[in-house]
Amino acid sequence: MPDAAPYPFEPSPARGRVLVFDSGVGGLTVAGEIRALGPRLTVHYAADTGFFPYGDKSDEALRERLPKVARALVDAVRPDVFVIACNTASTLALAEVRAALSIPVVGTVPAIKPAARLTETGTIGLLATPGTIRRAYTARLIEEFAAGKRVILHGSLELVKLAEAHARGEDIPPEAFAAAQAPLFNAEGGDEIDTIVLACTHFPLVRGQLIATAPRPVSYIDSGAAIARQTIRVLPENTQSGGQGGTSLLTRPPDETDGITRVLRRYGFPDVQFVACEPNATTSADAAP
Ligand code: DGL
């Protein structure tokens, strides 16, 4: 029998407490990567359910919200590292969150650099929230790492909602996933796309559905594994706590009809707590310009 292929990564013996944060359940894709790479870490999870979704909020509302919510969540579980498992938040307010916390903060940004290395046709699709699509940060990443490539962008809040619904166990018709990604393939030059960056942490939850409903085979890549590596890299030395468990924190009290507690339980976060967070002066109804 031929030798088995080498395992793609060696789990790290690192110990410590990590808090993974997103607007909703998308960051669970990143928490899973961190748990796989650092099985001795205690991984907590927080969802800003009181302000979900982020993808259609104004920059002003998010800039006001993020440092406040980050501080409240960090005060609740005292992690060694805070991971913003959200492209929409990281591409806007990473600096503001870093300034508000005294621990290392890891951000999530679109995997444009690996996509530029991977593409053979030179045409990359970027699937994200409308917020991430319009960020100057995203434009800079493209300029720096994908110069000479064609990058076709599409922002879909609908796909965020489909991914949340899918995670809650709803049966979504495949056509909905086909329709959510169709604008990429239908854009000028879209028939050349061979690599799609999933630049929203919700989207790897429905990677299988995207692959199954694409008009032809393309690679879907994301930053989850890179974030896990970076999280372990920035863990302060001699962090001793760690092991199993991990609490999940929500910023809106979960009620009986809210399926998110069931999702969290299924992903290994059975202990769900509510963290009160001051409401924004600018409300969640403020749509992006
Ligand atoms: N999961 C988030 C991201 O990576 C955003 C989803 C949302 O709240 O719109 O961008």
How confident is the model over 256-282, as a mean pLDDT?
85
The reported pLDDT for the residue numbered 5 is 65
Name residues contacting ligand 1 (CB within 6 A).
22-24, 26, 52-55, 86-88, 129, 132, 160, 200-202
For residue 156, the CA-to-ligand 1 centroid distance in Å is 10
For residue 155, the CA-to-ligand 1 centroid distance in Å is 11
Q: pLDDT tens across 188-231, in order?
A: 999 999 999 999 999 999 999 999 999 999 999 999 999 999 99
How confident is the model over 68-78, as a mean pLDDT?
96
How high is the mean pLDDT of the chain? 92
pLDDT higher than 50, residue 234? yes
For residue 237, the CA-to-ligand 1 centroid distance in Å is 31
In order of 145, 199, 211, 285, the CA distances from 131 in angstroms are 20, 11, 24, 15
Active site residue 86: yes
Instruction: Record the tokens describing residue 34, joined without a space.
Output: 């961190």
Instruction: Measure the CA–CA gap between 288 and 63, rounded to whole angstroms.
Output: 12
For residue 80, the CA-to-ligand 1 centroid distance in Å is 23
Instruction: Measure the CA–CA gap between 285 and 55, rounded to whole angstroms.
Output: 12
Class (C level, CATH) for 112-222: alpha beta
Give the position, in ligand 1's atom list, of the atom nearest the Cα of 128.
10
Its CATH architecture, for the domain 16-108+225-277, is 3-Layer(aba) Sandwich (3.40)
Listed residue (50, 71, 53, 84) closest to 231, CA to CA? 84
Active site residue 277: no
Q: Start-end ranges of CATH 3.40.50.1860 in the chain?
A: 16-108+225-277, 112-222
Find the catalytic residue in 73, 74, 77, 200.
Answer: 200
pTM: 0.93
The reported pLDDT for the residue numbered 143 is 98
Give the position, in ligand 1's atom list, of the atom nearest the Cα of 56.
9
pLDDT: which is higher, 52 or 5: 52
How confident is the model over 129-158, as a mean pLDDT?
97
Q: pLDDT tens across 83-116, in order?
A: 999 999 999 999 999 999 999 999 999 999 999 9
